[in-house]
Amino acid sequence: LAQKYDPQHERELRAWIEGTTGRRIGDNFMDGLKDGVILCELINKLQPGSVPKVNEPVQNWHKLENIGNFLRAITRYGVKPHDIFEANDLFENTNHTQVQSTLIALASQAKTKGNNVGGLGVKYAEKQQRRFHPEKLREGRNIIGLQMGTNKFASQQGMTAYGTRRHLYDPKLGTDQPLDQATISLQMGTNKGASQAGMTAPGTKRQIFEPALGMEHCDTMTIGLQMGSNKGASQQGMTVYGLPRQVYDPKYC
């Protein structure tokens, strides 16, 4: 919190408070405000009669009472409660940053009310209150506002249920116009008039015959090479796997 304290704002606040009250705060800014006298005089200048009695800083309770009166007065002046410091923040030096923030908020409120505060604070937006005739208010009950989900006189004419297919037709592209709602469009998986005539089940062999290549016709009983045919070969003369083979050549016998 101490690191957030702004020395530049302190100089601006000093110049504003001293110029408004006509009193010098002193070398130490917070110590000069600790008795609450200058603070009470400040709010009395901004709004006369805010603090009717300002105590002489004889004892500590006098000082705390002055600070409390100042805080109540700036609340009535318009400073928001969450912007106001606690009395001990100033009197016991526990939170000077919050004290500075409160004084800046007071300067903003003073600027809003037309007081000259220099470059301190910001001017709050003025409240723009509207009053409508009771008949106008009753008429508004029969109107569905945009934020309530009005369709602005639009309808769902021509729209299909959620997930229903849509027919896409463009005369310039030469696409066929759908005849009725029973037509299956391409995006829905139509076969475009094609059939499965002549197609076999997955894995079934296909007979390939080309007269120009001199290929012979095959019947459905022929086992193609791709299906594991031995092309008329047999196992005649073959021995069991692992048996020795006799090699004979007449030239050597």
The average pLDDT across 134-160 equals 69
Give the CATH number, domain containing residue 70.
Answer: 1.10.418.10
Residue 106 lies in a domain: yes
The average confidence (pLDDT) of the chain is 77
Residue 66 lies in a domain: yes
The average pLDDT across 177-200 equals 59
Local confidence band at 253 (pLDDT 50, 70, 90 cut-offs): low
pLDDT single digits (tens) 110-124: 998 888 887 887 777
Residue 51 lies in a domain: yes
Q: Which residues contact 50 (CB under 8 A, 6 or more apart)?
A: 40, 43, 44, 73, 76, 77
Residue 130 lies in a domain: no
Given a cut of 80, whether residue 9 has pLDDT beyond it is yes
DSSP secondary structure of 55-89:
--SSSHHHHHHHHHHHHHHHHHHT--GGGPPPHHH
How confident is the model at residue 121, as a pLDDT?
75
Residue 214 lies in a domain: no
Pick the range with the lowest mean pLDDT from 28-37, 51-60, 82-91, 203-212.
Answer: 203-212
Q: What total number of domains does the chain contain?
A: 1
Would the CA dihedral through 105, 107, 112, 113 be positive or negative? positive
CA distance 211 to 216: 8
Local confidence band at 1 (pLDDT 50, 70, 90 cut-offs): confident
Residue 107 lies in a domain: yes
Better pLDDT: 12 or 147: 12
How confident is the model at residue 69, as a pLDDT?
95
How confident is the model at residue 85, as a pLDDT?
94
The average pLDDT across 28-42 equals 94
In three-state secondary structure terms, 91 is: helix
How confident is the model at residue 103, as a pLDDT?
95
Q: Are 118 and 15 in contact (CB under 8 A)?
A: yes
Q: What is the pTM of this model?
A: 0.51
Residue 22 lies in a domain: yes
Q: Structural domain of residue 26, as residue ranges?
A: 7-113
Place of tokens 């917070």: 30
Given a cut of 80, whether residue 88 has pLDDT beyond it is yes
Would the CA dihedral through 130, 135, 137, 139 be positive or negative? negative
Better pLDDT: 151 or 76: 76
Residue 17 lies in a domain: yes
Better pLDDT: 28 or 153: 28
